[in-house]
């Protein structure tokens, strides 16, 4: 009896140590370049063709890659129909009269339910015609983007965050303008650009509830499950939401040139902008800022945040199939240079920050460089930078753009200054 108990105890101890070791392996981030495993990347394209037939080969390969990214990583977006209504809530002067502020209510509906996204748009007050525009999601609500008292405070679920005065999962007035350093509206309108944004939580709340809330609820047939491990996770839902915002902008916002909208995002929302640009070719250009693992960083490098870690911390971001690659990046049928390449032939920008090792700046650079080789074969300029920059605040702005900003994981005036140069190439 005693002996059996000891055996059982030993068994339990061994099992929990093994589980613990596996977890620990998942959670220890490598920041040592010499410990990056050897890896072979899947090619962006195999075709040896050139000229017109290469363009055709890329169109086909693009479809194939989109399908593989959908199936194994982000999850398929719904194919069934829905209704969309875009109503203007209000408009008025903002930024000391330099900008026109507009707010829209974007209502989505299916037989299963409805969902409202609030869209905030700033355009230069004095523009003589439609302007190029950045479109990106924000982390904590439109009211955090600028201190303007007319901006609607989000009613959607908000993560508790003292910095923006959100408690009991509810946003408050205290958050007004809290993220304004990330959204330099005055600088953007002064440069002749528009900027449009919506709260990501209006589309899908950023917590794991089994894919029941947000826009997931509108499409029960497309819900991720054991039977359907390839259906949209939250990042794919956010990207789909960005396309709905573009629907609204293209049809209802004449101040914006709907054919010069660059999709932009920081961090988790930079992963989202890459996927939105990949799935929706109406976005004229794609910008990912410090997007890291699951964004522009090469997964096989397993540097900083890894697939296992991201799937454990944020089990709702990707589709269930992606979990097969936890501690198993080398088996991935795709890698992130291919995601960057899915923007081609449209201009694409990958940006990193020097202290943001968690997001693997070198891995982000490599993706831009490798994607640039595809652009070159399409007859476009590649990334005009061969090596990872030795110093921060170095970059190139072109069809394929990259910069390494000095400092922390963030999006700030330095980044936007480059994005203004980048968007100005859209004609
Ligand atoms: C976490 C996460 C990253 C993500 C970031 C963010 O750090 O691990 O993958 O990019 O949050 O969205 O700010």
Q: For the segment 327-356, what is each residue's pLDDT rounded down to a tens digit?
A: 999 999 999 999 999 999 999 999 999 999
> Which atom in ligand 1 lies closest to the alpha carbon of residue 293?
9
Residues forming the active site: 267, 409
Question: For 250-308, what is each residue's pLDDT tens digit?
Answer: 999 999 999 999 999 999 999 999 999 999 999 999 999 999 999 999 999 999 999 99
Q: Residue 267: what pLDDT?
A: 98
pLDDT at 4: 62
* Per-residue confidence (pLDDT) for residue 26, from 0 to 100: 52
The closest-lying atom of ligand 1 relative to the alpha carbon of residue 294 is 9
Ligand 1 centroid to Cα of residue 41, in Å, is 24
CA of 232 to the centre of ligand 1 (A): 19
Question: Ligand 1 centroid to 270 CA: how many Å?
Answer: 10
What's the 200 CA to ligand 1 centre distance in angstroms?
14
Residues with CB under 6 A from ligand 1: 267-268, 292-293, 305, 310, 313, 358
Pocket test for ligand 1, best of 292, 293, 317 (most atoms within 8 A of CB): 292
3-class SS letters over the chain: CHHHHHHHHHHHHHHHHHHHHHHHHHHCCCCCHHHCCCCCCCCCCCCCCCHHHHHHHHHHHHHHHHHHHHHHHHCECCCCCCEEEEEEEEEEEEHHHCEEEEEEEEEEEECCEEEEEEEEEEEECCCCCCEEEEEEEECCCHHHCCCCCCCCCCCCCCCCEHHHCEECCECCHHHCCCCHHHCCHHHHHHCCCEEEEEEHHHHCCCCCCCCCCHHHHHCHHHCCCCCCCCECCHHHHHHHHHHHHHHHHHHHCCCEEEEEEEEEEECHHHHHHHHHHHHCCCCCEEEEECCCCCCCCCHHHCCCCCHHHHHHHCCCCCCHHHHHHCCCHHHCCCCHHHHHHCCCCCCEEEEEECCCHHHCHHHHHHHHHHHHHHHHHCCCCCCCCCCCCCCCCEEECCCEEEEEECCCCCCCHHHHHHHHHHHCCCC
Of all protein residues, the one whose alpha carbon is nearest to atom 8 of ligand 1 is 310
Q: How confident is the model at residue 5 (pLDDT cuts 50, 70, 90)?
A: low
Q: How confident is the model at residue 28 (pLDDT cuts 50, 70, 90)?
A: confident
Give tens-digit pLDDT for 207-240: 999 999 999 999 999 999 999 999 999 999 999 9
Ligand 1 pocket: which of 206, 208, 290, 305 to mutate (most atoms <8 Å of CB)?
305
Q: Of all atoms in ligand 1, which is nearest to the CA of residue 291?
A: 10
Has residue 421 got a pLDDT over 80?
A: yes
Which numbered atom of ligand 1 lies nearest the CA of 267? 10
CA 348 – ligand 1 centroid, Å = 21
Out of 73, 137, 139, 267, mutate this one to test ligand 1's pocket (max ligand atoms within 8 Å of CB): namely: 267
Tell me the domains of the chain and their CATH numbers: 2-423 (3.40.50.1820)
Q: What pLDDT sits at residue 21? A: 45
Distance 414 CA to ligand 1 centre (A): 20
């Amino acid at each position: 009896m005693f002996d059996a108990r000891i055996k059982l105890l030993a068994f339990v101890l061994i099992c929990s140590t093994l589980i613990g070791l596996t977890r620990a392996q998942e959670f220890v981030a490598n920041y040592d370049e010499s410990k990056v495993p050897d890896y072979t990347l899947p090619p962006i394209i195999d075709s040896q063709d050139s000229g017109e037939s290469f363009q055709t080969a890329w169109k086909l390969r693009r479809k194939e890659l989109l399908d593989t990214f959908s199936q194994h990583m982000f999850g398929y977006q719904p194919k069934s129909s829905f209704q969309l209504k875009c109503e203007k809530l209000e408009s008025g002067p903002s930024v000391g009269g330099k900008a026109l502020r507009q707010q829209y209510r974007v209502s989505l509906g299916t037989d299963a339910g409805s969902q409202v996204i609030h869209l905030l748009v700033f355009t230069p007050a004095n523009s003589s015609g439609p302007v190029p525009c950045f479109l990106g999601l924000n982390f904590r609500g439109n009211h955090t983007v600028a201190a303007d008292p007319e901006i609607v405070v989000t009613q959607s679920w908000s993560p508790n965050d003292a910095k923006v005065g959100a408690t009991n999962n509810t946003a408050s007035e205290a958050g007004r303008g809290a993220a304004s350093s990330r959204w330099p509206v005055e600088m953007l309108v002064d440069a002749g650009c528009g900027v449009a944004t919506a709260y990501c939580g209006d589309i899908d709340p950023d917590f794991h509830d089994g894919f029941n809330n947000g826009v997931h609820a509108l499409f029960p047939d497309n819900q991720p499950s054991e039977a359907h491990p390839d259906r949209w996770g939250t990042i794919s839902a956010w990207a789909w939401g960005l396309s709905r915002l573009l629907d609204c902008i293209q049809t209802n916002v004449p101040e914006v040139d709907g054919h010069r909208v660059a999709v932009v995002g920081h961090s988790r929302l930079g992963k989202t902008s890459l996927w939105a640009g990949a799935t929706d070719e109406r976005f004229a250009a794609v910008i990912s800022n410090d997007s890291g693992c699951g964004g522009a960083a090469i997964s096989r490098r397993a540097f900083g945040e890894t697939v296992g870690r991201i799937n454990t911390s944020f089990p709702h971001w990707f589709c269930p199939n992606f979990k097969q690659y936890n501690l198993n990046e080398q088996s991935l049928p795709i890698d992130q240079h291919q995601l960057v390449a899915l923007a081609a032939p449209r201009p694409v920008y990958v940006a990193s920050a020097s202290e943001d090792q968690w997001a693997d700046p070198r891995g982000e650079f490599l993706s831009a460089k490798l994607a640039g080789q595809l652009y070159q074969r399409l007859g476009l300029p590649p990334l005009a930078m061969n090596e990872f920059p030795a110093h921060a605040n170095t970059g190139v702005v072109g069809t394929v753009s990259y910069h390494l900003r000095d400092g922390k994981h963030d999006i700030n005036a330095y980044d936007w200054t480059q994005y203004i140069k980048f968007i100005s190439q859209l004609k």
